[in-house]
Amino acid sequence: MAARSTDFKPFEVIYRLFVSQDDAVPRAPIRIIAAGTITALALAACGSEAPRSQRDSTSAPTLDPALADALADPILVDPDLGQQANGDALRPPDRPPSGGLPPVDIAPIAPPAAPSVHAPEPGGDCAECTIARQARTLGALAAAGRDPRTRVCAATLRYSARWAARMPAALPLPRDARVLVAAGTDEGQCALRAARFVTAMPVKGAIDFYYAHASASGFSAEHRADDDMNTLHGTRDRDAAAYAVIVRPRAQGGSVIDLVVNAAD
C-alpha cells in the first residue's frame, strides 16, 4: 500500500458527511455516505499497521529448545524393512521379499554324546536314496516313501515351523538341530511329521543316533547307503507307525537330515 500523508484525518471526513450543518457541504445520498465510511475506515486501518520490527517479534512463537532439537533430529529407519514396506501396495515392491533363512552356525552347539548302540553296516540297494535325490520337498519325499499310510497322509501335509516341535518322543530332533523347514498333519488317522535340519553330528553319528532311538521304541531299522547318502527306514507293528531318515554330509561340517515320521508318540 502506498505511503500517505499523516495530515489525512478520516474521522473528520466522516464527521463532515454525517454531522456538518454547513450549507457549503451538501447532504450526500446514503450510498455515497456508506461508501465513504467504509473507505475511511479501511484507510484508517491501513494507517494503523504496527511497525514491521514489532510484528516480526510477536508473530513467530519460540519453541522449547528440547522440542526444537527433537524435531530436528533425523528419523531412524531400517533400510531392509523399508524396502519391503510396500509389499501390499498396488505397485510391486522394489525387490522381492527376502526368504532367507538364518545362518545355521549362528550359535553352534556340541553334538549329543555318541549312542551306545550302533547301526549295522548298510546293505542292499538304496532305492530310497534315489527317491530322496528326486524329491524337492518334504511333501514329495513323504508321498514317494515305501509306507502306504504315509503316502496317503502326505496329501494333507501343511508347512509350518511348529511341526518341528511336535516330533514324537520316539524319534526326536537332536538337541543341536537347526530346523530349515518343517511340515505335518493330524487329519484323519494321520500323525505325520517331517523336518529338514542340520546338525553337527557326522553322517555315521546321525545314523547311530536314530538307530538307537528307533530300536528302543520298538521300530525296525534298515540301513542303506549310496555314495555319501545314508538312509534308515522302519515300521512298528503295534500301531503301524513308520519313519524314514535321510542323512547327507554338509559341506561346512556335520549333516543335513530329512526326518519323516508317521507315529502318534
Question: Tens digits of per-residue pLDDT, 11-61?
Answer: 565 555 555 555 544 555 555 655 666 666 666 555 555 555 555 555 556
AA identity, residue 193:
R
How far is 187 from 170, CA to CA, in rounded Å?
Answer: 21
pLDDT of residue 52: 54
φ, ψ of residue 16 in degrees (nearest 5): -65, -35
Report helix, strand or coil for 147: coil
Q: Which residues pair with 71 in a beta bridge?
A: none
Least confident of 114-128, 148-162, 229-243: 114-128
User: pLDDT by residue (tens digit) across 209-235?
Assistant: 999 999 999 999 999 999 899 999 999
Give me the helices (H) in the chain, please: 10-18, 30-47, 52-59, 65-72, 79-83, 127-134, 138-143, 148-153, 203-216
**pLDDT at residue 1, rounded to an integer:** 47
pLDDT-above-90 percentage for the chain: 45
> Smallest Cα–Cα separation from 17: which of 8, 28, 9?
28
- pLDDT above 80 (res 9): no
pLDDT at 111 over 80: no
More confidently predicted of 260 and 17:
260
- Mean pLDDT value across the chain: 78
**Is 90 exceeded by the pLDDT of residue 139?**
yes
Query: pLDDT at residue 159 above 80?
Result: yes
Question: Which has the higher per-residue pLDDT, 97 or 260?
Answer: 260
Sign of CA dihedral 149, 155, 156, 157: positive
pLDDT band of 171, cuts 50, 70, 90: very high
The DSSP code for 126 is -
- Residue 60 has a pLDDT of 54
Whether the predicted pLDDT of 148 surpasses 90: yes
Nearest alpha-carbon partner for 148 in 241, 245, 223: 241
Tell me how far CA of residue 85 lies from CA of 54, 90, 96, 205, 206, in angstroms. 48, 12, 11, 45, 42
